[in-house]
Structure 1
């Protein structure tokens, strides 16, 4: 109600008190590169004193004409792919024949928010951060966000499968070899709001239409001191595009497996108001995941379809003042490789927020969010000869979550930047199951619970000298699981039983100390030590599931995972054409939650979620980037991880074994070429070493390498042809063994047209 009143108040103020000074003038100019050659079709935008924005485009000769119609002073922004953004103040409307000289983009020109919950130049970050710009996303052959993120070494999902065919509950994120599971050990945000599934922790990567994304930031390393639970291994943050006047984007693709992918984005600005609507519709008949030598009549293609729709409204009432609301609707249907195994998801959410600066130069951000979700799934048992299957379980999982979070920021003098905040979230969820045996209904089970969690934090970024920076922060979290029970009924006997689970609460203290030292303009050292944690999800506590012939049971007695980690890194050449970055990291996790094998038979493997003991992950990250000019970009990345079980009191035979789903080696090589928007091409080589699909290291998944290719050709200023090919050489590689092997995506080709009017 208070937010609604604030919205109405700002609308009245905007109507009743329009800008008092405005002057119309025409300015001519041209955009050139460092050599004085024109930059074709560069984007030029004007941000007026009342924060209204108008956009223009240069022609093929780099020349532009813009009409100044708002209050001055204004700020001029010029940008083109491969170049750094140029900013210029305009206070005199009589200025003319402007020359905007762009220089090639360097890594130091990037900014990051995810590392500190405030805008920070990459050259000031104390941790390892990767930023994927809008242009890099558009030059990728990947059609989903998770496939795009696989170009970041160390990023893994629970299994190697793309989210186009993988079961949703296997899409938890892991980084730095901490060990993926269905529940994510890394937090995923969209404009600061968590999008990890509130019940299970996994991620629906298609919830936000890709066309609506501006950039993606990946923070590798624990960040619980700012973000609390789920940020044990790192943070991925998605940033939406800001509404721009008179903008329409349309994309349509056709491809292998009868893929149809269409999306749109429409946005406009009316004074201080901004509006945007984005949507995505996708359908794929998929492929058969079981290798030909093992297939039977029961094996069919893993198909999927989904739609995502969201609308955004914002109102800006100052340089840093903004009110916004986002409404979204997401629905997907999947077939999981047999006629009976399917799942459906429906998610509706709303989030709203306000950011403002008060009279004492305190910067405040307050966000609220709410989500309602229904997840339906069918599970079956497949005969050993794969000639038939029988339904074993149907599940419906309704879940709701609400939350609020606030961030405060203030600069104290020239040396201290203080940041503080608090957040609270409430999650309610249940699992309604029907059991089947030989096609007959045998019983029902309802498991239900609630989790309340909240935290407070404070951080000081202390600029000791121009070259030395310290970051000291800490966070305290507390959560409570309560109102939990299981109610079962056996239909043949009519016997019912209700089992209440005792309420449990716990807390975590997450401190961090980090530093950065600039030895020279091009050489810097950085390092950090921290504590992080992850509280078990309601899914891990109360819901069992089945994948193939593997049953994994819930465990209401799970304890939180707690990690101590450290890293030391070096950055060289952030402002030069060649940039090199290296990071040594170390993780020690206590009470690591793992799927522990209890029994194995030819037809059934039974596992249970357990606090295994202690695990350790240590390794190395290497990143290289070479941009000789605005057209070419070469990058390489390497990830080495030694991730093993250190203690396992209940299963000592696991000590010394490797953590499941963590490859020892990962590497990426990438090349991009863009010729002033006349043509672009990119090639990506991904390599991954052997990993294990189980805790006992019995089911090895061999190493693999795949090549992706993307090509684009503008037809006009408004239209562009696009072609993408994933797994160009049709490499066959294993992604899972349950215990039947499943294979990754074969060669997939797609192409289409992109239409842009802005």
Structure 2
């Protein structure tokens, strides 16, 4: 029912009045690719990094979060991927701004924000890499025309276009520990448009995240079972405009550390998008998201249920309209508005895990609403006097935000209220902007510089929901203020005949009122606004093509990040979950349809906590991928994750440790592409 409701709402939200060219030019062919509008000329001033389709198709794990690790500086709250971590940990961030289970990076799929409306985490298991055309990662804040929330950067996922999709495609793989992965898609033409229906199912017995010397009778491997289905339709309206529709369903279930410690996340998303490529270019979209999350916490002392986060339904509804008027070749102006409304409710039951009967002790319920509406304008100016060598870009946003209807109620086992908090409504305006310059010194060398500001609202989860990762309890904080970022960066891009490419960036960012999990007592933390997180660093990206078959790509990020919290114990310390060094390198050999690649990744030492007590040692891993065609449509596939079987510590709470993916080998077949 919820999925059907989502589709109905999205269909009802279709824009009726649009700016478009009234008549197509005679004889102009209608070609629907399913792509979005072209990038404005000033976009390279902000130093984007691209992950192309061949890389997306040929990853060792087929997990988008692992492929994003090719971008130096990308990190999740924890090092584990979406098969072996709690879904609510899957926040994405960049630029060493501090680990946070909510995303400080705005993640978009075909222009639609994909973060969970209540928690702010990214449903990585539902984002299938080989369904994508490319991934564009823009490090650094400044939301521009994307939407609010991009304090650490923006990750844009673009769906595969018509020419990248075979009529029928399928993959089937079997891996270590009885792991299975099956995916398939059909993408027929529909007149001048097309449709694509795809699905993926993953299941595995999982590995022991608990080190051998810490296992007990209740310890179990990190089992997982997830599926997702996606329908995408692109159809022409006339020769210059089209409509795109998407519906996604997903279900993800995991068991972590102890028997009975089960989590589940579900989603039903739908969106509709109108694009016009006429004299007035238009990008208008509307979307709806219906999500839910549940989680059972098992005591590591008695191994009985201590908390049942049984139901967390949430809804996100939003839209955007962007207009690009015809101003000639000197200016590329875009302006418009976007809005997002989020609502969520958390219902959980607490139990006494120290008594064999495991009785109920409390029922808790928290809920709230958020609304953000932004107005934006951005212009890219290419002065004719310099022959197109200089591009200046700048834009402003004005966002009205509101946090409303926040409540927290608790009752004991008898139903008597022990807490009944109704939090005051809050609202305000935030003005932010960004500006950049791109100067082509020569055909090979381009210099760029940028400055930006941005903001992120605390999520409903941060405001109202406490959580426990035994033995540490983290309290919510309904008084949290929005985070606000200011930053500058500068760098260069150097390209020689498409054989050598190198990019370097220096950056300095300051995140005021940063939300952090602050230690307030032994085994007790609270989400608080600290004065600021200051991050400075350098990012390097390179590619060398030694021959038509052999390519090396590499990335490295160095950061010096510190917390400014005068008078607090964490003042001057590195933010939790932030490594100083991160690097990756991939060697890729391709001949025809045959592919062999190896990826080396390194992540430096980081800390679990704000006081730098619990360390996560550095880690070096090696992944591999092999595709060997046996006919024009069939290929054999072999994959290797963590081939060196390196020990990767993903959590350390006072010596209680979780480990990341050990050596995992896969073999399978691919049909159709």
Q: Shorter chain as normaliser: what TM range?
A: over 0.9
Give the 3 Å change call, closer, same or farther, for CA 620–495 of structure 1 in structure 2. Answer: closer
Alpha-carbon distance, 1:185 to partner: 0.4
- Shift of the 619–717 alpha-carbon distance from structure 1 to 2, 3 Å rule, reads same
8 Å CA contact 2:536–2:561 kept in 1: the answer is yes
Please name the residue that 1:514 is paired with.
Answer: 436
Query: Partner residue of 1:420?
Result: 335
Equivalent of 1:698 in 613, 618, 625: 613
Give TM-score, length-normalised by structure 1: 0.82
Greater Rg over alpha carbons, structure: 1
Summarize the Cα distance change of 1:461–1:497 in structure 2 as closer, same or farther, 3 Å threshold: same
Task: Compute the displacement of 1:2 (Å).
Answer: 11
The corresponding residue for 1:594 is: 516
The answer to whether the Cα contact below 8 Å between 2:9 and 2:288 also exists between their aligned partners in 1 is no
Deviation sequence 1:343-377 (CA, Å, 0-9, x none) = 1112111111111245xx11111100011112111
Q: Structure 1 CA distance, aligned partners of 2:299 and 2:402?
A: 36
- Alignment gaps of 5+ in structure 1: 11-16, 22-47, 54-111
Partner of 2:30: 50
Per the alignment, residue 194 of structure 1 pairs with 113
Q: SS where residue 541 of structure 1 aligns?
A: helix
Note if contact 2:84-2:660 (Cα within 8 Å) is conserved in structure 1.
no
Query: Of residues 642, 663, 667 in structure 1, which corresponds to 2:560?
Result: 642
| Deviation sequence 1:118-152 (CA, Å, 0-9, x none) | 4257x961022111111112232122100111121
Mapped to 2, the partners of 1:298 and 1:568 lie a distance apart of 52
Say whether residues 1:429 and 2:344 are aligned partners.
Answer: yes
Per the alignment, in what secondary structure is the counterpart of residue 188 of structure 2? Answer: strand
Select 1:451's aligned residue among 370, 378, 397: 370
How far does residue 531 in structure 1 lie from its aligned partner after superposition?
A: 0.7
Asked if the contact 1:726–1:748 (Cα under 8 Å) also holds between the matched residues in 2, the reply is yes
Which of the residues 656, 680, 696 maps onto 2:572?
656
**1:184·1:196 contact (CA, 8 Å) conserved in 2?**
yes
Give secondary structure in 2 for the equivalent of 1:420. Answer: strand
Partner residue, 1:91 = none
Say which SS state the counterpart of residue 377 (structure 1) adopts: strand
- 1:77 matched residue in structure 2: none
Match of 1:505 in 2: 427
Select the residue among 412, 416, 424 that pairs with 1:490.
412
Go from structure 1 to structure 2 and tell me whether the alpha carbon gap of 1:5 and 1:201 turns closer, same or farther (over 3 Å shift): closer
* Mapping of residues 86-485 of structure 1, within 5 Å: 118-120=38-40, 125-243=44-162, 247-357=167-277, 361-383=279-301, 388-438=303-353, 439-464=358-383, 465=386, 466-485=388-407
CA distance in 2, matches of 1:403, 1:8: 13
Paired position in structure 2 for 1:25: none
Deviates more, 1:463-472 or 1:560-569: 463-472
Q: Would you say the 8 A contact 1:246–1:269 is kept in 2?
A: no
Residue matched to 1:69: none
Query: Which of residues 435, 447, 452 in structure 2 aligns to 1:525?
Result: 447
Seen in structure 2, the aligned counterparts of structure 1 residues 348 and 493 have a Cα distance that, compared at 3 Å, is: closer
User: Quick one: distance in 1 between partners of 2:307 and 2:11?
Assistant: 48
- Gap regions ≥5 residues in structure 2: 1-7, 18-22
Question: C-alpha deviations, 1:275-300, integer Å up to 9, x for none?
Answer: 11010011011111111122222221
The equivalent residue for 2:637 is 722
Does structure 2 conserve the Cα–Cα contact (< 8 Å) formed by 1:373 and 1:399?
A: yes
CA contact (8 A) 2:64 2:127 kept: no
1:686 paired to 2:601:
yes
Q: Does 1:710 align with 2:625?
A: yes
Q: 1:449 to 1:18 in 2, by over 3 A?
A: closer
Shift of the alpha carbon at 1:329?
0.8
Matched-pair contact (CA < 8 Å) for 2:489–2:507: yes
Quote how far apart the aligned CAs of 1:492 are. Answer: 4.3
Separation in 2, partners of 1:476, 1:668: 38
Q: 1:261 to 1:519 in 2, by over 3 A?
A: same
May I ask how many residue pairs the two structures share in their alignment?
Answer: 651
Cα RMSD, aligned residues only: 2.4
Contact 2:296 2:305 in 1 (8 A): no
Change (3 A) 1:388 1:406: same
Per-residue Cα deviation, 1:692-748 (whole angstroms, up to 9, x for no partner): 110000011111100111111001110111111011110012111123111111101
**1:570–1:610 CA distance, 2 compared to 1 (3 A):** same
Higher relative contact order (CA 8 A, sep 6+): 2
What is the SS of the residue equivalent to 2:144? Answer: helix
Q: CA deviation at 1:392?
A: 3.2
Q: CA deviation at 1:630?
A: 2.4
Q: Does 1:612 align with 2:530?
A: yes
Q: TM-score, normalised by structure 2?
A: 0.92
1:674 paired residue number: 590
Contact kept, 8 Å, 1:19 with 1:50, in 2: the verdict is no
